[in-house]
Structure formats: C-alpha cells, structure tokens
C-alpha cells in the first residue's frame, strides 16, 4: 500500500506539558481519516507538526506528496482583495505564471461551487463559503493529501453537509481533525482518537463511531 504520510513515534510538548508521545500512524493514498478527540487533546498541535509548522521533540514525519492545509480560521488563508487571488497566490509563489495560477485557482473555486464569488474578498462571504474558499486555496495546489482542522466550526448543518459533499468528491487522502462526529461519519472511513497523549483508538470509522462507550470515555459524547 502506498502511504502519503508517515508519522513515527512523535512527541510534542509545550514547555513541561506533554501533548502527545510515541504517536505513530500512516495515511494511505486516497484514504479519508478523521482525527477526533476532546478539546485540548492536541489535534491542532498534531496537524501543525504534520504541516511542518511545529517541530516535534522526538519522532519523524514524512509527507510524501504535495499537501494542502485548511486551517480552522479561514481568515488565516483569505486576506487578498479576492478569493481568486487567495487561491492563486501560493501557486505564483511556487513559480506558476499569473495566467496558470488564475486558471488553477478558478478550477479549484469551481470544485467547491464558488466560481461565481471568485472576485469577492473572503470577508464578503458567508462562514460556509469562507470554509469552502479556504479548501479551494488548498486544492489549487493539486494536493495528494489534505489536512483539515475543524472544518465545520461555525458552520450550520446545511453548510457542513455541503462541505462534506465537496470533500467526498475529492480523490486525495484526507486527515480531518474534528469533534463533529456527524461530519466524520459522512467524510471519514477511518477514525483516529487522540486523548491523553496517545492514540486511544485507530480503526474503521463505522465501528468506532457506533461504540458509545468508547466515545463517552474520550469526551466525544
């Protein structure tokens, strides 16, 4: 099986506080995995380590394909005069021509149903549209892996459903950090549960999401 991401014996601390230790898992090409866990379990910290924004104190991360990140707060990704430019800029930074970057950006915006809003700035969009625009910024890079942090925070149920539908149309691998179990049920075939510094569970989402006792034990119910 081809793996797009390998995390081996990862450890991260903020000062004296260990967030996780000896954490290992791999994500296969095209796989969609949910990363659940109670508030403060370390989901965002883990994603930042995988993205290379934080450096683990021990262990190794290997990302074998181009990856796209969708941060919890879309404002971190949408700050240009238009979402078209937000999605095109990272491509231009990587050497694409202005024309190529715009074409790819438009394609990515179309993939999340936002082509009509391409010329608008992020702040002129609804919360759901902003999340989808941030997803388009990541998709413009043609990622083999998407790392998403709390994609449904601030979304109403319909916007969350629409976002799930867009994600499910993508063939790239996904790691979706969320405590929104309904969303993970829709989008993930595998579930990792992070709690008390380690992976408390890692298995088929369908089974783990129906294990009431497990969910209760890890603050997910």
Ligand X SMILES: Nc1ncnc2c1ncn2[C@@H]1O[C@H](COP(=O)(O)OP(=O)(O)O)[C@@H](O)[C@H]1O
Q: Which residues of this chain interact with Mg ion, rule CB under 5 A?
A: 43-44
Smallest distance from Mg ion to CB 91, Å: 27
Print burial letters for 68-104: b (CB count within 10 Å at least 16), e (below 16): bbbbbebeebbeeebbbbbbbbbbeeeebeeeebbeb
Q: Which residues pair with 6 in a beta bridge?
A: 26, 62
Which C-beta is closer to ligand X: that of 54 or that of 65? 54
- 18 binding ligand X? (CB under 6 A): no
Cα–Cα distance, 29 to 65 (Å, whole number): 9
- 55 binding ligand X? (CB under 6 A): no
- 181 binding ligand X? (CB under 6 A): no
105 binds, among ligand X, Mg ion, none (CB under 5 to 8 A by kind): none
- Residue 50 φ then ψ, to 5°: -65, -35
- 44 binding ligand X? (CB under 6 A): yes
Smallest distance from ligand X to CB 19, Å: 5
Smallest distance from ligand X to CB 90, Å: 24
DSSP per residue over 80-126, as a string? SSSHHHHHHHHHHHTT--HHHHHHHHHHHHHHTT-GGGTTS-GGGS-
- 37 binding ligand X? (CB under 6 A): yes
- 131 binding ligand X? (CB under 6 A): no
Cα–Cα distance, 51 to 60 (Å, whole number): 12
- 41 binding ligand X? (CB under 6 A): yes
Which C-beta is closer to ligand X: that of 13 or that of 120? 13
**Hunting for tokens 């990515």 — which residue is that?**
108
- 151 binding ligand X? (CB under 6 A): no
Smallest distance from ligand X to CB 157, Å: 22
| Member of 43, 102, 166, 174 binding ligand X (CB under 6 A) | 43
| Member of 7, 33, 45, 163 binding ligand X (CB under 6 A) | 45
Which C-beta is closer to ligand X: that of 44 or that of 142? 44
Asked whether 18 and 194 are in contact (CB, 8 A), the reply is no
The upper half-sphere exposure of residue 199, i.e. CA atoms within 13 Å in the direction of its Cβ, equals 18
Residues that bind ligand X in the complex, under the rule CB under 6 A? 14, 19, 37, 39-45
């Amino acid at each position: 099986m081809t793996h797009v991401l390998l995390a081996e014996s990862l450890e991260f601390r903020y000062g004296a506080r260990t967030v996780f230790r000896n954490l290992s898992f791999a994500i296969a090409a095209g796989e969609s995995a949910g990363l659940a866990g109670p508030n403060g379990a370390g989901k965002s910290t883990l994603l930042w380590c995988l993205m290379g924004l934080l450096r683990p104190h021990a262990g190794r991360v290997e990302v074998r394909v181009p990856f796209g990140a969708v941060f919890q707060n879309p404002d971190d990704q949408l700050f240009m005069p238009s979402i078209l430019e937000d999605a095109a800029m990272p491509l231009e930074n990587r050497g694409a021509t202005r024309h190529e970057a715009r074409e790819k950006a438009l394609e990515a915006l179309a993939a999340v149903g936002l082509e009509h809003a391409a010329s608008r700035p992020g702040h002129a969009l609804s919360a759901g549209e902003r999340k989808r625009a941030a997803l388009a910024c990541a998709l413009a890079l043609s990622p083999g892996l998407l790392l998403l942090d709390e994609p449904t925070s601030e979304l109403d149920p319909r916007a969350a459903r629409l976002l799930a539908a867009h994600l499910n149309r993508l063939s790239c691998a996904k790691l979706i950090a969320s405590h929104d179990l309904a969303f993970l049920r829709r989008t993930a075939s595998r579930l990792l549960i992070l709690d008390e510094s380690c992976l408390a569970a890692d298995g088929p989402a369908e089974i783990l999401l129906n294990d009431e006792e497990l969910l209760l034990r890890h603050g997910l119910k």
